[in-house]
Amino acid sequence: MSTLLLTNIGELTTNVAGGGVSAVRGGATRDARGDATRGTADGDPCGTLRDAAVLVREGRVAWVGSMDAAPGGNVRAGDAPTDHASMRDAPVVVDAGGRAVLPGFVDSHTHLVFAGDRAAEFEARMAGERYAAGGIRTTVAATRAASDEELRAGVAALVAECRGQGTTTLEVKTGYGLDVESETRLARLAAEVTEEVTFLGAHVVPPAFAGRADAYVDMVAGEMLAAVAPFSRWIDVFCEDGAFTADQGRRVLEAGRAAGLGIRVHGNQLGYGEGVALAVELGAAAVDHCTYLSDDDVRSLAGSETVATLLPGVEFSTRQPYPDARRLLDAGVTVALASDCNPGSSFTSSMPLVIALAVREMGMTTAEAVWAATAGGARALRRTDIGVVAAGARADLVLLDAPTRAHLAYRPGVPLVDRVWKDGVEVGVATGA
């Protein structure tokens, strides 16, 4: 794996207090990553460095800091640090040309393994029909009927879309199988593209169990969990009217925890409910949607380690009210942003669009939204090696064709992602591969 040196970065988003500045001496890297922070003394949530450089070695960030303070002196395009004793080969040098660099987006909520199309449902909503969770069953039928090859091709196409728009880490849920064989198959296919696989057998109650939700929960928490757990890191439940009650969700999540899986929750999307309270009670890594929140919900989130993951693509696609991110941030809640890419309620893979919606509709500053789409997503996955640009972190980097990250919201819909690196290896923006 070659050494990479990004120079002449006009604005570097590190998401680390103090800009994540580190030093390399005699081949030893001092890890200055620390904890990703939502704010610094100067009010900058992104740990911004200007006129910066980043050195990558063996898929990790080896050094980050000011161009003038770089090892070997003032590093410019074509130069490399000269006192880095362990550097055997000259680095590949990329001149950012004064443009912005940020961590790869961390999309901590997607449903990428599916078949079928629900464009007609979207058109009906735009004509005034109300969104309900029942449309999931349409995708379940199409997904069960698809072959592994068809599903694998669909996932590959969506992952390529995500990569091309700057997403370097993806969480992928099951939930469109809803029987033991199908859920296991979806988890297995998801595990081919990410280590962040979530078992969502408790998505909705399938038609075969109509009127017998508790019996379905027994199966999800029993034989289905046993089959799917080897392919999964997380377990999730849709705690909502039309899906599962808090008591049913608790049974599923506690069984998943006993099987060694981390906990996530879909909650408070369609109305006020018990999803947030359940997530905080069980110490979930994240509760996602959070559209309808009581004051008690906000207080409990603020006093917990549970991340509130907001999904504005859903509100765009369903005409539901947008979550109030400003209310959460001002209360001290950790907020993440994710796409919820799925064929029914949010068929977008674009984290730049999510950032623009969060800024325009949810009261976030651009810096807060970019933090939430990178470091916030990492926290929602309980990861410290992604979502930051600092020594020791994975070299997941995005070069924008823009001077600042503000352009992600300032120029919505414009393809501003110029180059993407995952683990130090460049992926094609056009193809994602």
pLDDT tens sequence across 44-57: 999 999 999 999 99
pLDDT digits (tens, 9 = 90+) for 328-349: 999 999 999 999 999 999 999 9
- How many angstroms separate the most distant Cα atoms in the chain? 71
Are 65 and 28 in contact, with CB atoms under 8 Å apart? no
In the predicted model, is pLDDT for residue 88 greater than 60? no
Instruction: Point out the least confidently predicted range of 20-24, 53-57, 122-126, 324-328.
Output: 20-24
47: left (phi over 0), alpha (psi -120 to 50) or beta: left
DSSP of 345-396: TB----HHHHHHHHHHHS---HHHHHHHHTHHHHHHTT-SSSS--STTSB--
Are 151 and 143 in contact, with CB atoms under 8 Å apart? yes
> Residue 23: its pLDDT value, please?
38
Give the pLDDT mean for 256-271.
Answer: 97
Are 113 and 26 in contact, with CB atoms under 8 Å apart? no
Give the pLDDT mean for 321-327.
Answer: 97
In the predicted model, is pLDDT for residue 31 greater than 50? no
In the predicted model, is pLDDT for residue 375 greater than 50? yes
> Residue 1: its pLDDT value, please?
60
In the predicted model, is pLDDT for residue 85 greater than 80? no
> Residue 432: its pLDDT value, please?
53
CA-closest candidate to residue 8, choices 126, 101, 113: 101
Please give the residue that has the higher pLDDT: either 314 or 23.
314
**Which tokens hold the place of 6?**
């990004």
In the predicted model, is pLDDT for residue 210 greater than 50? yes
Which pTM was predicted?
0.92
Give the pLDDT mean for 343-372.
Answer: 97
Q: Within the chain, how many helices (H) and strands (E) appear?
A: 15, 18
Secondary structure (3-state) at 4: strand
Mean pLDDT computed over every residue of the chain: 90
> Residue 326: its pLDDT value, please?
98
The span from the CA of 190 to the CA of 151, in Å, is 10
Buried b (16+ CB within 10 A) or exposed e, 136-153: bebbbebbbebeeeebee
